[in-house]
Structure 1
Amino acid sequence: MQSKRVIRLYYGFQFFFSLLLWLPVFYEFQKRIGLSDPQIFSIQSIYYVAFCLLEIPTGMLADLFGYRKCLRGGALTLVVANLLPIFAPSYSGFLAHFLLIALSRSFISGASSAYLYEYTRQSNAAGEYKQIEGNARAYGLLGKVACWSAIGVLMEWHLTLPYWLTVLSAAVSVAFAWKLPALATEASMLNRTSLQSPSIASKLRSLGTTLAHAPFLLLLMFQGIAIFVLARICQVNLFQPILGAKSFGLASYGAVMGLITLFEALGSARPGWVRRYFNDLNAVFFLTFVMALSLGLIAYAGQAGTLVWLSVFSLATGFSFPIQRQLLNDYIVDSSSRATLLSVESIIDRAVCALVAPFMGSFLGRGRLDSFLILSAVLTMVAMVLLLVILKLKPLATARESMS
C-alpha cells in the first residue's frame, strides 16, 4: 500500500508540475505584446545557457540535501515564474520568467528521476522504474491533451488566462511535493552533509573521475542530445512557426498540440512495445532516426501531412524518453552522484539547444523554416550513424564491466 501511495504521489507531482498550459501559445503571446522574432529566440538562447549554468549546482544540492527538497524548491519557483508574464508583459519580464523556469526545471530534472529510481531500488522494484517513469510522463501528457485543446480559444477570450491556469497547476504540484515521503538514503545524505560536506571542487573532481572511467555513460549522454534537441525544436521552439507556415489558425494550435501529445502519451505509456523488436540501446537509435526523418518530411508536407508526421514524431518521442532514462540510470553505479550525473546530461542537452536557438531565429527571420527542418534531420541522422558505430566498437557487457 505504501508503495502504491508513493507512486500515486509521484504521478501527481509530475502531472501538475509539467502542465505548462501556455506552451502552445507562448510564441503568439510574446508577438502580441510586441516582441520580435530575434527577441523571442534570444530569450530562448539565454534560457538554455542559464539552465546549463544551474544544472550542476542544483544536482549537487539534490545529492547533498535530498531529492525532495529540490522537488519542493522547483515547484515553488515555478509558481513565481508563471506570475511574471501576467504582471510584467515585456522583454525583461519574459526574460526573468524563463530564467526562473530554468531554475525550476534544473531543480527537478535530475532530482525527480533520481528520487523515483532510488525509491524503486530500495523497494526491490527497480525493474518497474521504466514503466512508472513512462506512466508518469503519459499521464502528464494526457492532462495536456485535455487542456491544450481549448487553450487557444481561452487566450483569445483572455490573453493572460493560460498563465493564470499554469500558476494554479504549479501550486498543486507544490502540495504533492510536500507529501512525498523521505527515502531511506536521505538520512545518510543529511548526516554526510552535517559531518563532512565535500567542497564543490572535490565534488566536481569526483564527477570528472566518474565520467573519465565511464566513457560508455558519456556516449549515452551525447546520444540523448539528439532526442532532447529534436523534441525541443519540433514541439516547442518551432511548433507554432510550423503551424503558421502551414496556414493553421491560432484557435487550432492547442488542438493540434493536444493531438500530437496524445501520440506521445501513448508511446510513453507503452515503451515495452519497442522492446519486443530491439534492445534498449538499439531502440533509442532507431527512434531517433524516426524522429529526424519525420521532422525533415514536415518540410515537404501540406496540412494533413504535417499532422501525420508530427504524430509519428511524437509517438517516437514518447517511446524514447523512458527507455533512454532507464539506460542512463542503469549505467550510473554510484547512487550518491545520481542526480548530479543526470544533471550533466541535461546540461549537454540545453547547451546544444542554446547554440541552436540563434540559428533557428536566423533561418526563421529569412523565411527558411523548411531548410532548417531538413538540415536538422540530415545532421542528426549522420551524427547518430557515427555514434552508433563508436558504441558498437565496445560491446555493451564490456562497457558495464569497466564501470563496475
Structure 2
Amino acid sequence: MSSVLTAAAVQRRYVGLTALRWLPLGITVPVIVLLASARGLSTTEIGLTVAVHSIVAVSLELPTGGLADAIGHRPVLVLSAVLGAAGLLTMAAAQDVAVFALAYGLIGAGRALDSGPLESWFVDATHAADPGADTTPGLSRAAAASGLGLALGAVLGGLVPLLADGAGSAALTIPFLLAAGVDVVYLVALMALVTPLRTAPAPTSAAAALLRGCRDVPRLIRETARLTRDDGILRRLLILSAVSGLVFSTLELLGPLRFAELAGGATEGTAVFGVVMAASFAAASVGSVLAGRVRRAAGGSTAVATAGVALLAALVLAGTALSPVLAVTAVSYALFYLVNAAGWPLRQQLMHTRVTAEHRATTVSVASLALQAGGIVGSLAVARLADATSDTAGFAVAVAALLFAAAVSLRLRVPVGAGMAG
C-alpha cells in the first residue's frame, strides 16, 4: 500500500500527524502547574513529578528507538498514543504526588516512544517514493506544524477553563480531557496514515513480534553507538542536541520568573507568559519554514547557516535576560524561538544523510536522548546557579552555551565525497 504513495502525499501525512502529535501538549502547558497546585502539591513536589517524566523518557529513549527499527514504526507510534492518552486522563484524576508522578511517567514513556519513529517513517517513506527527494521541506513544514499545534493548544488550554467559570478547580481538568480526546484522534490517524514500509515473516502473535524486536534492540543500539563513535559529524550533532536541551530547560525554568518580575507579580506574569508562549510557538513555525532560505543565504553551507543561527539566538536571548522593558523582553523571547527553529531542520537533514534506514529511528532517538540529558543538566545546574546568584546568571549560561554551539556548528562541514556538502 505504501508503494503507491507519492513523496508529496507522505509529506502531507507527516505534517498533519506532527500537528496532532503536539496539540495535546500545547493544550496542557498553561494549566499543568496550576492543576497540581490546586490539588495541594507544593512547588518542590511538582518538581519531583516533572523529574519522573524526564527520567522515564531518558531511560526508554534508546530501547524504544531500536524497537521501532526492529518491528516497524506504526506499532510503536500507536503504543505511544495510548500511553499519552492514559497519562493525560491519569493527570486529570490525580489528587496526590504518587498519582501525578504516575501520570508524568506514562506521558514520559509515550514521549520516548514517539521521539524517533514518526520522523524516520517520513524519511524512509519519502525515499521509497523518490530516492532523490529532498526531505528538508517536509522537515521544515512539520516543524512549523508542531509550532502551530503548540500555539493553538496553548490558546485552547488557556481559554477552556474560562468557559467553565464557576466550576472551581474542576475547570482545570477540562483541558486534560480535551487533550486526551485529541490523542485518541491522533491514534486513529496513525492507524490510517502510517503505512508499513517493511515486509517480514508474520510472527505467530503480536507478543512474538514484540519479543523479536526487543531482542534486536541491543544490536541496533551497539551499531548506532559505533556509528556515532566513528562519525565526527554525528558526534557534533549530538552535542548540539544536548546544548539545545540545556538552553530550552533554562527558558522553561527562568522565563516565567522573568516575566513575573517585569509584569509586577505572579498572576500578571502568568497571563503575559501564556500569550508570549503562544506567540513563540507560532514564531517557531515561521522560523522552521525559513530553514531553506537561511542555508541559501549562507551559500548552501549547513555549517555556516547553523553557526549563524546559534550566534543570532545568543544575541536575542541576551536581550531577554537584560532588557528592563516587558515588551522588548517578550519580543526577544519570541525571536529566539523563530531564530532557533530555522536551524533545526538543517541539523536533522544532515543527521539523516549520515545513517541508513535500518538505524534511522535509533539515531533520531539518540539525538532526542541527548536533548533530554541536556535538559536535565539545565534544570539542575542552572536552577542551582540562579538560586545562588540571580536569574540573569542562569540566562548567561544559556547564552554561553549557544556561543559554544556556534563554534561546534562550524565543524559540521562534510568532506567532499563523504555525503551532503556542509
TM-score by length of 2: 0.84
Quote the RMSD (CA, aligned, Å): 2.9
- Candidates 138, 143, 150, aligned match of 1:137: 143
Q: Which amino acid aligns with 1:271?
A: A
* Stretch moving more, 102-111 or 209-218: 209-218
* Partner deviation per Cα, 1:159-180 (whole Å, 9 max, x = no partner): 2222122111111111111012
Match of 1:244 in 2: 260
* Partner deviation per Cα, 1:352-391 (whole Å, 9 max, x = no partner): 212221234435656832221122212431x2255346x2
Match of 2:408 in 1: 387
1:293–1:356: structure 2 CA closer, same or farther, 3 Å change rule?
A: same
Match of 1:288 in 2: 310
* Partner deviation per Cα, 1:308-352 (whole Å, 9 max, x = no partner): 1112101112212211111111111x2211111111111111112
Which residues in structure 2 correspond to 1:5-44 (within 5 Å)?
5-19=9-23, 20=25, 21-44=27-50
CA contact (8 A) 1:54 1:103 kept: yes
Match of 2:105 in 1: 99
* Partner deviation per Cα, 1:180-227 (whole Å, 9 max, x = no partner): 24343x214978x79986554433332332222222211222122223
Which residues in structure 2 correspond to 1:148-297 (within 5 Å)?
148-156=154-162, 157=165, 158-184=171-197, 186-188=198-200, 199-234=216-251, 236-247=252-263, 248-278=268-298, 279-297=301-319
Runs of 4+ in 1 over 6 A off after TM superposition: 193-197
1:331–1:176: structure 2 CA closer, same or farther, 3 Å change rule?
A: same
1:48–1:147: structure 2 CA closer, same or farther, 3 Å change rule?
A: closer
Secondary structure at the counterpart of residue 106 of structure 2: helix
Say if 2:342 is the partner of 1:319: yes
TM-score by length of 1: 0.88
* Partner deviation per Cα, 1:280-300 (whole Å, 9 max, x = no partner): 222222212222332232121
User: What are the ranges of 5 or more consecutive residues in structure 1 without an aligned counterpart?
Assistant: none
Secondary structure at the counterpart of residue 221 of structure 1: helix
What percent of counterpart residues are identical?
A: 20
CA contact (8 A) 1:144 1:261 kept: yes
* Partner deviation per Cα, 1:120-143 (whole Å, 9 max, x = no partner): 111116534211122122123223
1:151–1:123: structure 2 CA closer, same or farther, 3 Å change rule?
A: same
* Stretch moving more, 199-208 or 158-167: 199-208
Q: Which amino acid aligns with 1:15?
A: A
- Candidates 388, 393, 409, aligned match of 1:371: 393
Match of 2:206 in 1: none
Per the TM alignment, residue 58 of structure 1 is displaced from its structure 2 partner at its CA by: 0.3
Q: Quote the Cα distance in structure 2 between the aligned partners of 1:241 and 1:94.
A: 23
Match of 1:397 in 2: 415
